[in-house]
Amino acid sequence: MPTLHEVCAKARTLPCSPSLLPRLIRLLEQPDSDVADLAQLIQLDPVLAASTVRLANSAYFSGGATVQSVAEAVMRMGGREIYRLAALALGARWMTIEVEGYRWEAGDFCRASLVKALAAEVLAEQTGRADPALAYTCGLVHEIGKLALAHACGGDIPRIRNHQLEHGGPWLEAETAILGFNHANVSARLLEEWRFPAACIAIAAHNPPDERLLAPEHRALAAHVHAAQHLAVALGLGQGEDGFLYALNTTLLAEWGLEPAVLETAMPEVLERATKLLRTQLGAGPIAA
């Protein structure tokens, strides 16, 4: 049975890790960054560069002459849309690797992650108590260890499943009982190696969030990502067999004003953004930028 270290090592062999995203985040946070800087970074990934130019020339953004370069595309679209595109283009390629376990259909893990990211963004915008861009990032990657674990330990998933069926409780606890670690441990280790923001690493490590273990500066964000997970599960898009088997920290949600009425209000906006982003891939099928 693989160790935590071995699972993470095997995950590094998967193509197209989303390690370019933290570099893009840091660049967008710099007040003196410009179009040339963004274009130079995007061009490190040829597929992302092509997707950027293509989207800039789509009906959604097109408003004049045809864009010929990545720099022109960045200028037309703006930093926020560039980041959304990068998250989809880079995340989708890594998140749609075919693996055994969790009973996912094609594209399900990526679909669930993107819906969770959008839900975290919407909730942060509505409450004003967390940064929407960082909430989006954390929502996107905070369970990325599931993919690595399924890739490295696919043969052990039936034992995890049987343990959960026999003993009940959250799926995460069944993983720990069988493997000695769980997908939250894997997520945190990988995000640390890829140099994601500290908040993303902390939230990934504590899933479900425990306010006693989180630094004060991470608690609001953790609550919003946790609420986003609940919303994504409620929408039922891309959920694996473990989707409903999680512990909900209602005390933390209430502390940050994320009551059921707030989540219910956010749901239509989350669904609208997910539909715009995923289009015909919203309900099923592989995800591609």
Q: What is the pLDDT of residues 167-180, one digit of tens each?
A: 988 999 999 999 99
Can you give the pLDDT at residue 148?
85
41-99 per-position pLDDT tens digit? 887 777 677 777 777 777 666 666 777 777 888 887 777 777 777 777 666 666 666 66
pLDDT of the residue at 114: 85
pLDDT value at position 196? Answer: 83
Domains of the chain, start order: 4-14+99-281 (1.10.3210.10)
Predicted pLDDT of residue 282? 64
Q: Which residues of the chain have pLDDT under 70?
A: 15-19, 47, 59-64, 89-101, 104-107, 238, 279-289
Given this model, what pLDDT does residue 121 score? 92
| Stated length of the chain | 289
pTM of the model: 0.82
pLDDT at residue number 226:
93
Predicted pLDDT of residue 64: 67
